[in-house]
Structure 1
Amino acid sequence: MSEERRAARRQVLQVAAKLLEEGGSEAVSTRAVAAAAGITAPALYRMFEDKDGLLGELAAYGFEMYLEEKREALAQTPDDPVADLYLGWDLHVDFGLRHPAFYMLMYGTVRPGRRPPAADEAHALLVRLLGRAAEAGHLRIPVAQATRVIHAATTGATLALIGEEPSQQDLSTSARLRDTIIASVTTDPPASSGSDLASRALTLDAALETALTSGHPGTGTGVPLRATETALLREWLQQLAG
């Protein structure tokens, strides 16, 4: 796609985003978007095929906005993986309440196997935050399980708040749920006595994951084990983690 066509597409998405914010997904008809963008309906169809295609691109546009805000906020915090989990929760809920129509499009109309790349990137950001917590010995359940728990809880909390009248939205509910959920998946650093076996197993598993994914071609992974041995070790560590 040429730079000119990419810029035109971006401009139409910005126009559609404004209509979405002002009137919800019902306001984003192909006719309304084409008129607001100053283009013909056939030109719009050539860009997005149909309304579903346009809404899919809008969802991706929303994830991009969300990621930009979240990365910027997290970059300004101290290096504390657990504190970042609390901040990440609050940023997620805040974005949903400031952009409810976008949030409903992003998370309320999810279809299996049809997530935009930016949604996968948002998911990967949560996985990285939890991976850092695991490496520091602060996680009590595997990263994949903790990711599912926190994703489900933050999404549910945000959708519940969006469904309330603005005057009735009580952020203390989200804060209580946040504290309960994060406390359920995190723990204090392992004691020197080695009594927290599950946490230590998760810490080693997270370190192995980092070594395996950060290796460079021709230099190895930094794990002096064969692939089958590494897989078996990680299986044992997952069992120890419970």
Structure 2
Amino acid sequence: MDTRERLVKAAADLLIEGGKEAVSTRAVAAAAGVQAPTLYRLFGDKDGLLDAVAGFGFSDYLASKHAMGVGGDPVDDLRGGWDLHIGFGLARPAFYLLMYGEPRRRAARLEADAMLREIISRIAAAGRLTVPVEQAAQFVHAAGMGVVLALLATPEEDRDLELITFSREQVIRAITTDAAPNGPTDIPSRAIALRVALEEDPPLMLSPAERVLLAEWLDRVAK
């Protein structure tokens, strides 16, 4: 490993052993066998180091998300993404809390959030989303994070893993409809689908101001 990799690995080990509080720049530099100025030169500050640690911890998770690909049913893809998210949180709690237990949105989290929105946008494009994309993404994220944190706060032998599937299906029921894939069956779902279509392929005949106005109208109809 080069110096940067040694520092990230040392910080990751400290994170796993003692949580974020254990990841001081002094402790990381000592564990990696380098001087503190080297750490600051490579990462700028502690937040820069933690960004790198989060990316290191989430690399397998993000690779698995990418490997899922695009299935024939975007709602089933959402189920798969949910299960992957919960499984990662339970398997690597220190990294999960670093990513989701604080306001700062680290680069790896932004990538994961973008993947979630992409799946939900495909549900909307199929005419099966009953709330706006952003609202649905926030709902799925909040519910998934709540399940992980609730299970992590429970002794492993007392965890009810049925909560994972139960919560997942409740969330899906709240934001989707069973409408046939050939088109939405109600006005809000049609508005949501059109909103996604306009973002992906905006009509050339509309000015930027007209597009903003149309998006506002569609958002109102979707609520």
Calculate the TM-score normalised by the size of structure 2. Answer: 0.87
SS in 1 for 2:154: coil
Match of 2:82 among 77, 89, 98: 89
1:233, 1:160 → 2: CA distance? 41
Give the letter aligned to residue 71 of structure 1: H
SS in 2 for 1:132: helix
Whether the 8 Å CA contact 2:7–2:28 is kept in 1: the answer is: yes
| 1:33 maps to 2:31 | no
| 1:210 maps to 2:200 | yes
Match of 1:131 among 121, 124, 147: 121
The sequence identity of aligned pairs, in percent, is 48
Whether the 8 Å CA contact 1:201–1:238 is kept in 2: the answer is: yes
Query: Unmatched 5+ residue regions in structure 1?
Result: 213-221
2:59, 2:122 → 1: CA distance? 23
* RMSD of equivalent CA atoms: 2.5
SS in 2 for 1:201: helix
1:130, CA displacement in angstroms? 0.6
1:33, CA displacement in angstroms? 2.4
Whether the 8 Å CA contact 1:126–1:147 is kept in 2: the answer is: yes
Equivalent residue for 1:215? none
1:240, CA displacement in angstroms? 1.9
1:160, 1:193 → 2: CA distance? 37
2:184, 2:23 → 1: CA distance? 58
1:155, 1:83 → 2: CA distance? 19
Whether the 8 Å CA contact 2:127–2:190 is kept in 1: the answer is: yes
| 1:189 maps to 2:182 | no
Give the letter aligned to residue 78 of structure 1: G
Equivalenced residues, count: 223
Calculate the TM-score normalised by the size of structure 1. Answer: 0.81
Distance 1:135 1:23, change over 3 A: same
